[in-house]
Structure 1
Amino acid sequence: MTLSDASPATSASPPALPIPRQLVVVTGAGRGLGVSLARSFLEQGARVVVNYRRSEEGANALVADYPEQALAVAADVCDRSAVDAMFARAREHFGAPVTTLINNALPDFAFNGDARPGPDELTWEHLDHQLQGVARGALNTVQASLAGMREAGFGRIVNIGTNLFQNPVVPYHDYTAAKAALLSLTRTLAHDLGPDNITVNMISGGLLRTTDASRATPEAVFDLIAASTPLRRVTTPQEFADAALLFASPWSRAVTGQNLVVDGGLVKD
């Protein structure tokens, strides 16, 4: 069975605009979870813009594996002119507008609870840094994508969140606040863009086994999380990326404004 896009919602079976015809932008795709997200779409035959800021080597490695489908583009998502240029280059290279946007890029952040500022040390600069990269970055990419999605007659926007909304077990105050803002933006955008057949959803995870961010995590922490989940294991980046494929497929054509927690059942939304 082939995964396919959704066009205007009807009661009929999902129409046949297969994922290979989608043009996907994955931000922050040169490293970490972004690599798994981009690779999942590439494995389905989609054309993918592999966005990166500094991880040129990782982005180029993906393109080398899928030279006909992938295009690496350097752009800081906080820079609207750079984002606009990325979308223009994608259209020029592939001859089609971007139809699917995965907002994964994250500003510099140390996933180390012991090193993060607590309530007494937290500053507005900490919060602003994350809000700029997460919320402003997503706003820039969404706005850059809208004309092309409306032209194509459909669009799929997937924002990457965190299960720390529900389970704030580490003092990532700035990171979690920015992701909470992104969830609010997800739901308001879903309301406004629904008439254009553009869905907007969020996928939220926790610790993944293993990404660049979690590579330094002690094995005992992985074991503790695994024992706390119904599945008795820690979610992998590949499993997390599967949910992005779901939101891009016609099987979720009537799903928008939702936050899907993908963490093996550790946290209940």
Structure 2
Amino acid sequence: MTRPLSDLTVLVTGGGRGLGAAIARAFHREGARVAINYRNSQTAAETLAAELGPRAAAFRADVTDPAQVAAMVDQITERLGAPDVLVHNALADFAFNGDARAHLDRLQWADIARQAETAVGGALNCLAAMRAHCAAQGFGRIITIGTNLMQNPVVPYHDYTAAKGALLALTRTAAKELGPLGITVNMVSGGLLRTTDASAATPEAVFDIIAAQTPLGRVTTPEDLADAVLFFASPWARAVTGQNLIVDGGLVFG
């Protein structure tokens, strides 16, 4: 079963700013109805929703809380229609600052668990809230956001990368279980993006080094990655599931 992007209701977690906002704008551009989830970024999310107009709205929920997620999905259903697409972009507070990262001599399990609670737990909670609707209609699209640091940990952000690795595992096991229900599950993995709040702490020299090592000669933007997310929700990806598409200008292959 396929459906055009303009016929879909899309939930973007962490959608108020940065990459999430770029993804929300991309889906809206193609005619979809967009639910912009936020936890703390109320002003940014509501401003974006107002910019996009009546086919978009902002919804507050902490994705690590199953009850809040279930209530949010009910609110989205009432306002925009039951969500058919999940883009799980929400990120626990994190800054890509190599000098300030937690090294192994002081890294604690709680650091990894905090990242995984949002990356993996948030995905699980959203899946649980959306599964019945998607299964009933025989259609659903789940897109998780990963990182190319799994292929090339140029800066060893242990906690962030471990959580995203676990999210890739869940992406693939969920694809296996949900495929018979008509639900595809895929991941889009970016590199360092120019520029989001998370990458604002990255020195300019690092962006220049990455651009010089990348076949396309430039750093990937949130808009570049957002367009790749659209592919997995579109009819053209109807036979693709359990995959991890790396969108980083060719910095890493695999």
Measured against the shorter chain, the TM-score band is: over 0.9
Separation (CA, whole Å) in 2 of partners of 1:205 and 1:19: 22
Matched, 1:158 2:143: yes
Separation (CA, whole Å) in 2 of partners of 1:76 and 1:229: 36
- Whether the 8 Å contact between 2:4 and 2:235 is mirrored in structure 1 is no
Q: Which of 130, 134, 139 does residue 145 from structure 1 map onto?
A: 130
Aligned-residue RMSD, C-alpha: 1.0
Aligned residue for 1:33? 19
Q: Which of 132, 135, 151 does residue 120 from structure 2 map onto?
A: 135
Flag structure 1 segments of 5+ consecutive residues without an equivalent: 1-6, 8-14
- Whether the 8 Å contact between 1:83 and 1:140 is mirrored in structure 2 is yes
Aligned length: 254
Separation (CA, whole Å) in 2 of partners of 1:215 and 1:119: 24
Matched, 1:200 2:209: no
Aligned residue for 2:83? 98
Aligned residue for 1:66? 52
Matched AA of 2:186: N
| Cα offsets for 1:115-145 (capped at 9, x unmatched) | 1111111101111111111111110001111
- Shift, 1:54, TM fit: 0.4
> Relative to structure 2, which stretch is displaced further, 77-86 or 116-125?
116-125
- Shift, 1:93, TM fit: 1.0
| Cα offsets for 1:220-246 (capped at 9, x unmatched) | 211111111110111110000001100
Separation (CA, whole Å) in 2 of partners of 1:175 and 1:225: 19
* Secondary structure at 1:92 match in 2: helix
Taking the TM superposition and a 5 Å limit, the aligned residue runs for 1:1-269 are 7=1, 17-94=3-80, 96-269=81-254
- Whether the 8 Å contact between 1:99 and 1:152 is mirrored in structure 2 is no
TM-score, normalization by structure 2: 0.98
- Whether the 8 Å contact between 2:194 and 2:222 is mirrored in structure 1 is yes
Separation (CA, whole Å) in 2 of partners of 1:151 and 1:22: 15
* Secondary structure at 1:39 match in 2: helix
- Whether the 8 Å contact between 1:97 and 1:152 is mirrored in structure 2 is no
* Secondary structure at 1:148 match in 2: helix
Runs of 4+ in 1 over 4 A off after TM superposition: none
Matched AA of 1:39: R
- Shift, 1:62, TM fit: 1.3
- Shift, 1:218, TM fit: 2.4
* Secondary structure at 1:158 match in 2: strand
* Secondary structure at 1:137 match in 2: helix
- Whether the 8 Å contact between 1:135 and 1:182 is mirrored in structure 2 is yes
Separation (CA, whole Å) in 1 of partners of 2:162 and 2:104: 13
- Shift, 1:79, TM fit: 0.5
- Shift, 1:210, TM fit: 1.4
> Relative to structure 2, which stretch is displaced further, 235-244 or 109-118?
109-118
- Whether the 8 Å contact between 2:95 and 2:201 is mirrored in structure 1 is no
- Shift, 1:216, TM fit: 3.1
- Whether the 8 Å contact between 2:219 and 2:248 is mirrored in structure 1 is yes
- Shift, 1:113, TM fit: 1.2
Separation (CA, whole Å) in 2 of partners of 1:151 and 1:93: 20
